[in-house]
Structure formats: structure tokens, C-alpha cells
Structure 1
Amino acid sequence: MNPIETVVAQDLVRLTPATAHSADVIDLDAHLYDYYGLTSLNMMLLMTSVCEKTKTALIHFTEDDIAGLQTPRDIVSLISKFSELENPRVAGSVGTGA
């Protein structure tokens, strides 16, 4: 797993302990709501935590971006566009949109 996948998997385990017991067994292609049972509040907690840990400003993402996230892999893909972990050149850039 790359660093962003690891962060997403660890945070998903923290939010869904009944479904996912270990970050190693997270299926990045499983549905966040149907398989992992996330609620909209859980999704915001997940995104806030992942953004914080990957040094990604949540302001980069629109409501439609968040609503379109269906799998952990979708989160990884979206965060990867703006994360300082993947793109040191985006450090400090805010409000560029997704």
C-alpha cells in the first residue's frame, strides 16, 4: 500500500471496527456505504482525518467531490491529487478546486 492508501485503510478501520478489523484486509474497491456501512457523518469524519494526516486542505474538495466517493480507492485517488505526501509542490496551494 502507498502512504495514502495506508491512511485511508487505517482510518476506515477506526470508523468501522465491526466490518474491518485490520487495515491489511481493507478492500479498496468495496463500497463505502453498502459494504463498510459508513454514514454521511462517518464520511466527513473519514475525510477530515485523512486530509489532516495527508496534509491536504479539505477546501480543495467540493460537496460533489465528496458525494461522488464510493470506494476507498476513490478517496485515495481524490486525495492523491492534492496531498503533500504525493505532491510536495502543492504545499500551501489552496482553493484550486478538484
Structure 2
Amino acid sequence: MQSEIETVARTNLARVLESDVAPQDIDPDQDMVGTYGLTSLNKVLFLMAACDDAGVDLSCFTEPDVAAMSTLRDVTEALSRHAGKAA
């Protein structure tokens, strides 16, 4: 069963991708840029929306944190670490 955070991340990633990939078809361990063609701008849009929907303050993440998020699993784990913390 997917966590709520993973569902939020999948939905928001599918929304910004140029390709027509359903949220449930996204492989959490594939590189978002190499496999799905995620652009830098779309990564920012994706992370902003995912943070909003997960209740995580985007300022929790540094530039290196964001750069290290190359897979959906990376994003889900990062969001999960900060979910529920007061901003």
C-alpha cells in the first residue's frame, strides 16, 4: 500500500511531466530526468506542489538536498522526514 506522501508525490510528478504517464505507472526508483524527462523548472514546480500538498515547508530543503532528489523514492523519503513538523 502506498503511503499518502508517495501518492502526493506521484500525482504531482505525473502532473508536470511532458509525457503522458499515469501516477501509478511511475517507477519510484527510476531517474526522474533520464527516464521521465523532468526538466529543472518542472522539478521545482513538482517539489513546490508536493511540499504544499504534503504540508512540508519547502525551506526545509537546501539546494544540495534538492539536487540529490533524483528518483521519486528520494522525494518521498525526504518529504516523509519533514511531514508533520511545524514550519
Q: TM-score, normalised by structure 1?
A: 0.83
Query: Structure 1 regions of 5+ residues with no counterpart?
Result: 85-89
The aligned residue for residue 45 of structure 1 is 45
What is the number of equivalent residue pairs in this alignment?
86
Of Structure 1 and Structure 2, the greater helix share is in 2
Query: Structure 2 regions of 5+ residues with no counterpart?
Result: none
CA RMSD of aligned residues (A): 1.1
* In 1, Cα distance between equivalents of 2:36 and 2:20: 6
1:41 is displaced (CA, Å) by 0.6
1:17 is displaced (CA, Å) by 5.0
The residue type equivalent to 2:10 in the other structure is: A
Residues 51 and 79, structure 2, Cα contact 8 Å, conserved in 1: yes
The aligned residue for residue 5 of structure 2 is 4
Task: Give the secondary-structure state (helix, strand or coil) at the position aligned to 1:81.
Answer: helix
1:23 is displaced (CA, Å) by 1.3
The aligned residue for residue 75 of structure 2 is 75
The residue type equivalent to 1:24 in the other structure is: Q
Q: TM-score, normalised by structure 2?
A: 0.92
Task: Give the secondary-structure state (helix, strand or coil) at the position aligned to 2:42.
Answer: helix
* In 2, Cα distance between equivalents of 1:19 and 1:72: 16
